[in-house]
Amino acid sequence: MRKLVALPVLSADALSSVAYGPEAMLTVLVLAGSAGLGWSLPISGAIVFLMLAVGTSYRQTIRAYPQGGGSYIVATANLGRVPGLVAAAGLITDYVLTVAVSISSGLAAVTSAIPSLHSAVVPIGVAIIVILLIANVRGVRQAGALFAAPTYAFILAIALLVIVGLVDATGRGFHALPRPALHATQAVTLLLVLRAFASGSTAMTGVEAISNAVTVFKPPEWRNARTTLSWMIGLLVTMFVGIIVLVELGGIVPEHSQTVLSQLAHQDFGSGPLYVYVQAATALVLLLAADTAYNDFPRVMFLLARDRFAPRPFLKMGDRLAFNNGILALSIVAGLVFFAFNGNTSSLIPLYAVGVFLAFTLSQAGMVVHWWRLRSGGWRRSILFNGIGCVLTAIVFVIAAITKFTAGAWVSLLIVVVFTAVALLTRRHFDRVAAATGLSPEASASEENEETPSQFSNLAIVPVPYLNRVTVRALAYAVSLGQPVLALHVSPTEEEAKRFREYWADWGNHVPLEVVKSPYRAVIPPTVAYIEALHAQRPELTLTVIVPELALRHWWQRLLYEDFATRLRRSLAELPMVLVTSVPLHV
Amino acid sequence: MRKLVALPVLSADALSSVAYGPEAMLTVLVLAGSAGLGWSLPISGAIVFLMLAVGTSYRQTIRAYPQGGGSYIVATANLGRVPGLVAAAGLITDYVLTVAVSISSGLAAVTSAIPSLHSAVVPIGVAIIVILLIANVRGVRQAGALFAAPTYAFILAIALLVIVGLVDATGRGFHALPRPALHATQAVTLLLVLRAFASGSTAMTGVEAISNAVTVFKPPEWRNARTTLSWMIGLLVTMFVGIIVLVELGGIVPEHSQTVLSQLAHQDFGSGPLYVYVQAATALVLLLAADTAYNDFPRVMFLLARDRFAPRPFLKMGDRLAFNNGILALSIVAGLVFFAFNGNTSSLIPLYAVGVFLAFTLSQAGMVVHWWRLRSGGWRRSILFNGIGCVLTAIVFVIAAITKFTAGAWVSLLIVVVFTAVALLTRRHFDRVAAATGLSPEASASEENEETPSQFSNLAIVPVPYLNRVTVRALAYAVSLGQPVLALHVSPTEEEAKRFREYWADWGNHVPLEVVKSPYRAVIPPTVAYIEALHAQRPELTLTVIVPELALRHWWQRLLYEDFATRLRRSLAELPMVLVTSVPLHV
């Protein structure tokens, strides 16, 4: 990918974060009224410093992991299994919340312009998640131009907003407009400031995307990726600072019914077409950001499944080469989270920062270890940059976890713990199975840990409810295998049993017949009981139950029959020496 | 069963109908105000005549069908397949509505006493259906005393109500109390009177129960059953007339918030313990009536399935010898109907009469034909009684279908038509399959419509993703069958394929190995494609795919794996010469 195509695709997630990050910070500060909002500039300065530090840190990662260095890979390689899984768990919560927050924030941009849609936010959001699910399963590729457009449109929108806003401010000599009267419900405390900082730092979610995807760039990949990362950080800082400055100059106060960006756009452009353009571009770039999680989440699940930390179905690609199970899992979890939090951005924000900064921290800690182990040219500088990034993001993680704990961070922390535990248990299961089923190194068919054909003494059992072409076919197949065959008939009464034996004799008595009594006409239980008894009596025999079956073309035809083979298979699953196969007759 | 035990068990459905039948009639008449309610006595007279005629008619049925003469059996035997199925469809709607109406009416008895429960009627009703489902699947037998109590309690309640009411009325010289002022919204028209008649005739739903269950009586069964039927009709007429007379004397007008029975009980007993007793006995007998449908519906479905008009699963008995699938089907349909009509008795009544009287009519028409064919002693008298019953119930059916068509009868008629059509299509499917799979009368293994063992030329194919104890076991089993075996490995790259061939050689090359390329790591599609290609090339071969499988103890372990055998079986279901079996290894 060329840099100018990769930039919008890979930075949609990061750049769109300025739509909710500044607002999340202001929403906390306004609780302390004007005095609280006065802290907006210093906190923003800290966030900008954080952006630059993390950007510099990820430049190191790109150089070290030109094949793509996601947090899970870097943390696992340098810190070990558990930190790697914790990083993966952080990423998982990050991606789920990227979907939920991006959609809720995108819908806030829409309802700011069309307030009547406010009550329909939850169903619309769920519908969008369903559409993303279908689109991604169908394999919508990130086709360059189409996916580049929203990001560039959004950059242009913020640029216009900031320029027009600054020109207006110049006209009045940079005097800030007066804020509406505010009623402070809290004092300015350290806790409040830290909470505002943690909320505002969600403005940098998504900056890791480029370092995950170095391979999509044109060669030299790592150099192009680094350049693009620098551009992205530059844009992110510029847009973030621009918005914060406009908020200060415009005397903007966060409102419930309208986003901060919408207020700024109204101030600059009234309610005309440019206002509509800003809102539409914001909604579209956030939709694109949500879509990027549909690429990232299934890939992490794939990596975990490949390393046997997650169920195998996450390895599977669908017909369109998409990881359908990962896409489905993300949709369900993100849909539930969106629904549970009523599609409300400010309720979701406390959950968001924890996962993101946990993954950041572990990734950069991994990089510090990486450079220390390598100690090649310039390692001291690299350790310095990654070390600063690691310490700063660790501080943000701790601040977010503590100051937002009761507001929702506990949910993310719980998910991280449970996810890590489940991953470890999954791995333990697979390891145990591998140990139990592995062959010894110099395996040969004669060794004791393998079964040989001569150990199998076969008997085929064919359940025969009637004598017709279906059952005769199964009998013929059973006989053709050249092993002993026994036909099994279940009969409710002695007379019916006698009658069936006569049919059997008329037919030619080709196969030995056993008749089992079942006064209540049940078929499965007496069949199972007979096979279990036979197994108990002759445990050395391998019993192959060959079930005659009618092959049905339509699903509704299958409703007309009992699925004898499946039910028998389930009932006999516990017996190691019993196999069930079905012989279909197509009519 | 003794008569005094059989009476309450088999007549709960019929007798409990007086809890909603009179009220349904009055609810229609009150639309025409006092002038409308004036028609109450003549219409009730017609209904009493109908009860006696139908009772007499069913006495004939009991004599003719001592093994039990349900509408489906009688109509099929005497009128043929389609009338029998239409009668069965009528019964099915009858039973579904017995559940829905009995529960809604029973809850109306409860909410009359406890109005605050009114808003919770739908969830409570659904919960009761779930409880009935569980109780019947668990096999609650109609244990004599327990099931007799509610019916006798209800008979006693109505007797007390009527006697106390009549004594009160005697005290004031049989002057009717004044009715509240009524606002007539309709004129008294023929249509209104007929609609009231059709609604009121739901007071006799359930009278066929005894003729269905003649075999449960002590010998001489038919004579005891007839006697019990006469008692039941006597009680039904007495209770119905008693309630109608009390309504007249008490100046009762149907209300939305309180049932007619509740108003009568308040008039007689105030709000004391006797009032509570009347409401509780009413609710309990209606619950018992709903429960009787849980015996009748699965039995009709069993008979239909036995005659190949319904899916086979309805033949199946559960562990407790209950027809679980019929019980489940009734619960789902009755639950949906109850939910769709908001648990409102008066909305459900229009659907009810149609099915009931359709089954009545066809059953009695069948009896007329029965006697005509037989022409044994007293046949003229029997034809007369059944003929009168048939004509009268046919008239009620037509009246109900026409006057209630738009109010809901169309739903029942549509269900009858669709049910009959589906039953006929089901039978056609089973007949076609029987024709296609039947053996010719003098069948022998050499005839052309049978397959012989020599026609099977077997090849076993074992998919081998890895070389471990699981796959080795499947290979050993395949070899032990003594037929040619081919191992099939899917590999993403040429190198991996080469590596696997080396393992295979190290292991000893016991079985020929085929390696298939699959660059995207998909396994099922290339396996299916290989087998399809092999089948196309060698159509005479029977291919047995032997899938190595890990036997897992817990359901959550199964979530960790792809169900390879099931997916392969589904993908290969179209090929007649391909069988799939799985060889489990228990670890």
Residue pLDDT, tens place only, B52-110: 999 998 998 998 888 877 899 999 999 999 999 999 999 999 999 999 999 999 999 99
Q: What is the pLDDT of residue B70?
A: 85
Instruction: Report whether B316 contacts B324 (CB < 8 A).
Output: yes
Distance of CA B203 to the CA centre of its chain: 21
Question: Could you read off the pLDDT of A187-196 as tens digits, one per residue?
Answer: 999 999 999 9
Q: How many C-beta atoms lie closer than 10 Å to residue B283's C-beta?
A: 25
Give Cα separations from B80 to B73, B340, B498 (angstroms): 10, 35, 71
3-state secondary structure string across A355-409: HHHHHHHHHHHHHHHHHHHHCCCCHHHHHHHHHHHHHHHHHHHHHHHHHCHHHHH
Taking contacts as CB-CB distances below 8 angstroms, the residues of chain B near A320 are none
Question: Could you read off the pLDDT of B383-427 as tens digits, one per residue?
Answer: 999 999 999 999 999 999 999 999 889 999 999 999 999 999 999
Q: A24: part of which helix (H) or strand (E)?
A: helix A21-29
In this complex, is the C-beta atom of A469 within 8 Å of any C-beta atom belonging to chain B?
yes
Of A312, A430, A560, the CB nearest to B312: A560
Q: What angle do CA B137, B143, B147 make, to 5 degrees?
A: 100
Q: What is the pLDDT of residue B565?
A: 85
Taking contacts as CB-CB distances below 8 angstroms, the residues of chain B near A582 are 579
Cβ distance of A469 and B449 shorter than 8 Å: yes
Question: Helix count (H) and strand count (E) of chain A?
Answer: 22, 5
Tell me whether the omega of the peptide bond preceding residue B220 falls within 30 degrees of 0, making it cis.
yes
Q: What is the pLDDT of residue A566?
A: 85
Cβ distance of A456 and B480 shorter than 8 Å: yes
Residue of A nearest to B426 (CA): A560
What is the rounded distance in angstroms from the CA atom of residue A214 to the CA atom of residue A221?
6
Nearest CA of chain A to the CA of B456: how many Å? 6
Q: What is the pLDDT of residue B145?
A: 66
The helix/strand/coil state of A438 is coil
Token look-up 């036997």 returns B551
Cβ distance of B445 and A473 shorter than 8 Å: no
Taking contacts as CB-CB distances below 8 angstroms, the residues of chain B near A482 are 481-483
In this complex, is the C-beta atom of A453 within 8 Å of any C-beta atom belonging to chain B?
yes
What is the rounded distance in angstroms from the CA atom of residue A484 to the CA atom of residue A461?
9
For chain B, the distance separating the N- and C-terminal CA atoms, rounded to the nearest angstrom, is 55
Q: What is the mean pLDDT of chain B?
A: 90
Nearest CA of chain B to the CA of A36: how many Å? 48
Q: What is the CA radius of gyration of chain A?
A: 32
Cβ distance of B587 and A311 shorter than 8 Å: no
Percent of residues, chain A, with pLDDT higher than 90: 63
Instruction: Report whether B111 contacts B121 (CB < 8 A).
Output: yes
Of B319, B476, B579, the CB nearest to A581: B579
Of A455, A480, A507, the CB nearest to B453: A480
What is the rounded distance in angstroms from the CA atom of residue B418 to the CA atom of residue B99?
21
- Whether residue A586 is predicted with pLDDT greater than 90 in this model: the reply is no
Q: What is the mean pLDDT of chain A?
A: 90
Closest to A359 measured CA to CA, from A191, A199, A211, A232 = A211
- Whether residue A444 is predicted with pLDDT greater than 80 in this model: the reply is no
Token look-up 């333990």 returns A428
- Whether residue B192 is predicted with pLDDT greater than 90 in this model: the reply is yes
Question: Could you read off the pLDDT of B340-388 as tens digits, one per residue?
Answer: 999 999 999 999 999 999 999 999 999 999 999 988 888 899 999 999 9
Closest to B23 measured CA to CA, from B236, B250, B240, B280 = B240
Instruction: Lowest mean pLDDT of A244-253, B158-167, B210-219, B327-336, name the range.
Output: B210-219
For chain A, the distance separating the N- and C-terminal CA atoms, rounded to the nearest angstrom, is 55
Residue of B nearest to A427 (CA): B560
- Name the pLDDT band for A569 (thresholds 50, 70, 90): confident
- Name the pLDDT band for B243 (thresholds 50, 70, 90): very high
Instruction: Report whether A317 contacts A123 (CB < 8 A).
Output: no
Nearest CA of chain A to the CA of B380: how many Å? 40
DSSP label at B208?
T
Count CA atoms within 13 Å of residue A312 on its CB side. Answer: 14
DSSP string, A46-92: HHHHHHHHHHHHHHHHHHH-TT---HHHHHHHHH-HHHHHHHHHHHH
Nearest CA of chain A to the CA of B480: how many Å? 4
Cβ distance of A576 and B586 shorter than 8 Å: yes
What is the rounded distance in angstroms from the CA atom of residue A523 to the CA atom of residue B312?
13
Please name the residues between 526 and 545 in chain B that touch chain A, using a CB distance below 8 Å: 542, 544
Residue B18 tokens read as 């007086």
Please name the residues between 194 and 223 in chain A that touch chain B, using a CB distance below 8 Å: none
- Whether residue B579 is predicted with pLDDT greater than 70 in this model: the reply is yes
Question: Could you read off the pLDDT of A212-228 as tens digits, one per residue?
Answer: 888 888 888 889 999 99
Please name the residues between 421 and 450 in chain A that touch chain B, using a CB distance below 8 Å: 426, 429-430, 432-434, 436-439, 443-445, 449-450
Out of A123-127, A559-563, B566-570, the most confident range is A123-127
What is the rounded distance in angstroms from the CA atom of residue A259 to the CA atom of residue A110?
10
Nearest CA of chain A to the CA of B448: how many Å? 11
Residue of B nearest to A318 (CA): B522
Q: What is the pLDDT of residue A445?
A: 45
Distance of CA B549 to the CA centre of its chain: 40
In this complex, is the C-beta atom of A556 within 8 Å of any C-beta atom belonging to chain B?
no
Dihedral angle, C-alpha B415, B418, B423, B424, nearest 10 °: 140
In this complex, is the C-beta atom of B332 within 8 Å of any C-beta atom belonging to chain A?
no
What is the rounded distance in angstroms from the CA atom of residue B37 to the CA atom of residue B22?
12
Instruction: List A541's β-bridge partners, or say none.
Output: A457
Q: What is the pLDDT of residue A450?
A: 65
Cβ distance of A576 and B439 shorter than 8 Å: no
In this complex, is the C-beta atom of B518 within 8 Å of any C-beta atom belonging to chain A?
no
What is the rounded distance in angstroms from the CA atom of residue B543 to the CA atom of residue B458?
6
3-state secondary structure string across B374-407: HCCCCHHHHHHHHHHHHHHHHHHHHHHHHHCHHH
Instruction: Lowest mean pLDDT of A42-56, A333-347, A519-533, B16-30, name the range.
Output: A519-533
Mutate to test the interface with B, among A473, A500, A543, A574 (most CBs of B within 10 A): A473
- Whether residue A446 is predicted with pLDDT greater than 60 in this model: the reply is no
Tell me whether the omega of the peptide bond preceding residue A220 falls within 30 degrees of 0, making it cis.
yes
Cβ distance of A579 and B582 shorter than 8 Å: yes
Residue of A nearest to B457 (CA): A480
Question: Could you read off the pLDDT of A70-83 as tens digits, one per residue?
Answer: 899 999 999 999 99
Taking contacts as CB-CB distances below 8 angstroms, the residues of chain A near B456 are 476-477, 480
Average pLDDT over residues B298-323: 87
- Whether residue B550 is predicted with pLDDT greater than 90 in this model: the reply is no
The helix/strand/coil state of B516 is strand
What is the rounded distance in angstroms from the CA atom of residue A396 to the CA atom of residue A451?
58
Residue of A nearest to B430 (CA): A560
Give Cα separations from A69 to A203, A374, A491, B299 (angstroms): 22, 16, 67, 66
Name all contacts of B129-136 with Cβ < 8 Å and 24+ positions apart: B129/B99, B129/B103, B129/B331, B129/B334, B129/B335, B129/B338, B130/B331, B130/B335, B132/B99, B132/B290, B132/B291, B132/B294, B132/B331, B133/B327, B133/B328, B133/B331, B135/B291, B136/B291, B136/B294, B136/B295, B136/B322, B136/B327
- Whether residue A457 is predicted with pLDDT greater than 90 in this model: the reply is no
Give Cα separations from A474 to A480, A507, A550 (angstroms): 10, 15, 11
Average pLDDT over residues A154-162: 96
- Whether residue B482 is predicted with pLDDT greater than 90 in this model: the reply is no
Question: Could you read off the pLDDT of A95-131 as tens digits, one per residue?
Answer: 999 999 999 999 999 999 999 998 899 999 999 999 9
Cβ distance of A312 and B580 shorter than 8 Å: no
- Name the pLDDT band for B142 (thresholds 50, 70, 90): low
